[in-house]
Amino acid sequence: MDSFLIKGGVPLCGDVAISGAKNAALPIMAAALLTREPCVIRRVPRLVDVRYMGQILSRLGAQVTWEDDAVRIHAAKIKGVGDYDLIRKMRGSICIMGPLLARLKTARVSLPGGCVIGARPINLHLKGFASLGARITITGGYAQARARQLVGAEVFLGGRAGSTVLGTANVMMAATLAEGITVIESAACEPEIVDLANCLNAMGAKVTGAGSPIITITGVKELHGVEHEVIPDRIEAATYAIAAAATKGEVTLHGARTEHLAAVLDKLQAAGVRTERRGAALVVRRGRRLQPVDITTLPYAGFPTDVQAQMMALLTLVPGISIITERIFESRFMHVSELGRLGADIEIEGPSAIVKGGRPLSGAPVMASDLRASAALVIAGLAARGTTLVNRVYHIDRGYEEIDSKLRGLGARIKRLQES
């Protein structure tokens, strides 16, 4: 397993290009299952999870060919079973279920199981499919949905933590080929849902309201192929913005959509970080002495849970008390103990982490545990005095395209140690 060796204390300076959004690319790749015509998806980030989705689609019978940052998916003939060993490794693959159900009227997908950040149930996905007339059975660790014909319906997708992003994607995709009209209430409003809806409409679907809590889908007979470019990754952009602030540097982000970053920029500005638009680019630099801020993660357009760990790394450097409350996942504080190894003073109180910031961090060996926690450890290592060794960086390769070379391009002293 690879590791990153980081020599901290160097301000990040320069330009970084933001890649396509992982969390938009995954459901959009799955959407190619809805048509027997070829689909070309551009600005697909070269990530482990994205390649993995390609493997899953191939195992379902689709032809998948990669051309630079584009992928061509031709699902002329497919089968409806997502194997356990494939789905288990990547929870995001659950979004093949809606398209399989819509196209084949049957889908059998292994229950994704939990991961380090929480239980990751799919009850709301299955509730949505059942509302469309599918019969749901759970046997042998698989969820099976079958329907003679999907029929449009009203479905409420709100759960204990608000809506469900991939649940909304799954039900929206299933509804595109249902008979009649489907109204999803308490739909997820994330930009990745809007991007998926735009792609579906370009395939001939009739989806309105994406980006709002009420999405209406009027079923059509069939969908056709598409060429679609994925939106930029707002979580990657937030990660580099926070790294610039944490290292007292100045970084220009190219390709980020600032309207997708409003909650993050609001909190960075409240902490004293300077951000400004320069044409289509976003410049981020550490302003005056930073101030502590309180963060609560919420469904979009609230502060994103996928930026919680990275923000915590920054706030460990800010003198004063910052309180971070995680409202989306039940155990997304795996990075707290590892940040503690770098000298951070953080106490967990239920859903909140109390960050007593201001003590300088000092480098140490740390262990990555999940995608965003790994990013937090890299940020902390870049800001810490001395050398930090981040182990198990395969976690980070799942969601950040070429992060070590992008950081080196900003002046970071980071080296990938390949395990022999």
Pairwise CA distance, residues 356 & 51, whole Å: 40
Can residue 131 be called a binding residue for ligand EPZ (CB under 6 A)? no
DSSP annotation string for 80-113: -EE-HHHHHH-GGGGGGHHHHHHHHSEEEEE---
Residue 26 or 342 with smaller CB distance to ligand EPZ: 26
Which one of residues 36, 59, 72, 120 is an interface residue with ligand EPZ (CB under 6 A)? 120
Taking the complex as a whole, the smallest distance from the CB of residue 182 to ligand EPZ amounts, in Å, to 17
Work out the number of other CB atoms within 10 angstroms of the CB of residue 170. Answer: 31
- Given 13, 39, 95, 115, the catalytic residue: 115
Window 317-346: residues binding ligand EPZ (CB under 6 A)? 328-329
Is 115 marked active-site?
yes
Nearest to 330, CA basis, from 346, 316, 342, 348: 348
Residue 290 or 324 with smaller CB distance to ligand EPZ: 324
Taking the complex as a whole, the smallest distance from the CB of residue 135 to ligand EPZ amounts, in Å, to 18
- Size, binding site for ligand EPZ by CB under 6 A: 26
Taking the complex as a whole, the smallest distance from the CB of residue 160 to ligand EPZ amounts, in Å, to 6
Can residue 128 be called a binding residue for ligand EPZ (CB under 6 A)? no
Taking the complex as a whole, the smallest distance from the CB of residue 288 to ligand EPZ amounts, in Å, to 31
Task: List Cα–Cα distances, 188 to 33, 155, 165, in angstroms.
Answer: 22, 13, 5
Rg (CA), the chain: 21
Can residue 161 be called a binding residue for ligand EPZ (CB under 6 A)? yes
Taking the complex as a whole, the smallest distance from the CB of residue 24 to ligand EPZ amounts, in Å, to 8
Taking the complex as a whole, the smallest distance from the CB of residue 162 to ligand EPZ amounts, in Å, to 7
- Report residue 351: phi and psi, to 5°: -80, 0
Can residue 118 be called a binding residue for ligand EPZ (CB under 6 A)? yes
What is the contact mask toward ligand EPZ in residues 2 to 41, using x (rule: CB under 6 A)? Answer: ---------------------x--x---------------
Can residue 248 be called a binding residue for ligand EPZ (CB under 6 A)? no
Taking the complex as a whole, the smallest distance from the CB of residue 157 to ligand EPZ amounts, in Å, to 8
Q: Which stretch binds ligand EPZ (CB under 6 A): 32-40, 120-128, 261-269, 412-420?
A: 120-128
One-letter amino acid of 196: L
Pairwise CA distance, residues 176 & 222, whole Å: 8
Can residue 261 be called a binding residue for ligand EPZ (CB under 6 A)? no
Which one of residues 34, 73, 147, 165 is an interface residue with ligand EPZ (CB under 6 A)? 165
Which one of residues 9, 61, 158, 159 is an interface residue with ligand EPZ (CB under 6 A)? 159
DSSP annotation string for 18-68: --B-HHHHHHHHHHGGG-SSEEEEES----HHHHHHHHHHHHTT-EEEEET
Work out the number of other CB atoms within 10 angstroms of the CB of residue 313. Answer: 30
Question: Which tokens go with 80?
Answer: 């409806």
DSSP annotation string for 303-342: B-GGGHHHHHHHHTTSSEEEEEE--S-TT--HHHHHHHHT
Can residue 108 be called a binding residue for ligand EPZ (CB under 6 A)? no
Say which DSSP state 394 is in: H
Pairwise CA distance, residues 90 & 363, whole Å: 31
Residues in a beta bridge with 268: none
Can residue 371 be called a binding residue for ligand EPZ (CB under 6 A)? yes
Q: Are 341 and 359 in contact (CB under 8 A)?
A: no
Q: Catalytic site residues?
A: 115
Which residues sit at the interface with ligand EPZ, rule CB under 6 A? 23, 26, 91-92, 118-125, 159-161, 164-167, 305-306, 328-329, 371-372, 399
